[in-house]
Amino acid sequence: MEGFKELTVWQRASIYYQEILDNGDKRIENWPLVYSPVPVCWIILCYLFMVWAGPKLMAKKEPVNLKLVLIAYNFTMVCLSIYMFYEFTVSSWMANYSLLCQPVDYSNSPLALRMASVCWLFYFSKYIEFCDTMFFILRKKNSQLTFLHVYHHSTMILNCWVGLKYTPGGQSFMSGLVNSLIHVVMYFYYGLAAFGPSMTKYLWWKSYLTILQLLQFLVVTMHTVYNLFADCNYPDALNLIVFAYALSLIALFCHFYYHSYLVSRTNDQRKCKV
């Protein structure tokens, strides 16, 4: 310990960084974008740069017509989300997962590797979802580039990386399963909306989509809180990260719902009275 105190800040940081690399799941450390957080952080920084520079580059240009691209993209994401939901469900069911307390199976059994594989696919899908932001920028829908949108897309990847790196399975399967199910509904909505005004009459349930998103974070929060107090062989540090992150999203989505639906509805009613 005394020798450690004598090390420089850079040497201590190097030791901590090596521990981050070495303490992960050895089975998947050579899978793409898993071993080190450095490429992940660089990609997030590039994403944030795109959010900052994209609207500036598009300022004097016409919006890009992406109707066919959006239809294909959104329904492809529906199919991907259905597949991930299926894999999470079947893998956990066949492995007799507990819904309340499930340690990670670090073995090389087919079911353990199948669960790790869908966890990686879920993580990688968050990179694909950067397209959501890119499409907003190209279509000059800058009002959609809210703090909630950018925060959620940029931080979700880092949270997924932590979960995948150290716990590809076990309790973390619940977040992926619920999120995949919600994304089936969400991208189906976006896919319909991409057809244009002709579909507007079928999209009356937009506010309920936000409620569904809030419900998923509440489910994940309650699931995590239970495990923080239960005697479950799953890292409390990971549970705390998920808990804090879910609370931040609940707060942001509640703020979004309040201003997007409750306030706007009140203003519309006032205009009608006038």
Burial class of 109 by CB neighbour count within 10 A (0 to 12, 13 to 18, 19+): exposed
180 touches 88 (CB < 8 A): yes
Among 45, 62, 171, smallest CA distance to 115 is for 171
Active site residue 152: yes
Cα separation, 45 vs 158, in Å, equals 12
Instruction: Give the angle 249-253-256 at the CA atoms, nearest 5°.
Output: 145
Cα separation, 116 vs 106, in Å, equals 9
234 touches 103 (CB < 8 A): yes
Give every CB contact of residue 258 below 8 A, 6+ residues apart in sequence.
none
The amino acid at 256? F
Of 152, 153, 183, 223, the active-site residue reads 152
Burial class of 155 by CB neighbour count within 10 A (0 to 12, 13 to 18, 19+): middle
116 touches 168 (CB < 8 A): yes
Tell me which residues are annotated as active site: 152
